[in-house]
Amino acid sequence: MKLFVLEHEKAAYRVDFALYGVAIAGLLLFLLLSGRGDHRLDSSVLVIAGLLVWSALEYASHRFVLHGVAPFSRWHAEHHRRPAALIYTPTLLSGLLFAGLVFLPLWWLGDLRRASALTLGVLLGYVGYALTHHALHHLRRDHGALYRLKCRHARHHLGSVPTVCYGVTSRFWDVLLLTDGPRHGVPRWRRLAGPLLSALLLAALLLLLYRPLD
């Protein structure tokens, strides 16, 4: 079983989900056992904030990194050529990115409980994304919410240079940033409002995350 390649065997593919499941369970258990009663609301808000952070990361990494920065764009192009293949970021690399870019900086800037709560939200979002993306390419549906997501994702896979539907689990950022469909006839104020609102949302999340400790 190889864990350091882009295309994985089925065993490694399942191990990826299992390891993230263990990480989520561990973070949740830590929060339940270590937090006082007055911290539970704070932790819950941070978990929700982590889900929102993941939503923004999902869109931004897909649009600007996987479709814009080499060598990631070359690796992702292979997924577009063979969408049914088990191609994804190696578990060790994705785990290091979550630890190095999310958990450790938050622990250093805040405290262990808040870092754990926000990281839990991000990991829940990531696993939800991974399961959704797997279902879009490997499960057959001809109705319902999953079918509608499959239709949107199929639009992203059309053509050699995708320009729409970068969000996998949500349309929110695509609608906000005008990548949900053709942009013909969109007024100038609407084109400027999306990035501005995105910046305000991210600023609000940062204020929430880095406010002074109690």
Give the model confidence (pLDDT) of 100-113 as tens digits. Answer: 989 998 888 878 98
Q: Name the more confident of 153 and 188.
A: 153
The pTM assigned to this predicted structure is: 0.83
- pLDDT attached to residue 44: 87
- Pairwise CA distance, residues 55 & 48, whole Å: 11
Q: Is the pLDDT of residue 21 over 90?
A: yes
- Pairwise CA distance, residues 135 & 63, whole Å: 21
- pLDDT attached to residue 207: 63
- pLDDT attached to residue 20: 92
Average pLDDT for 158-168:
81
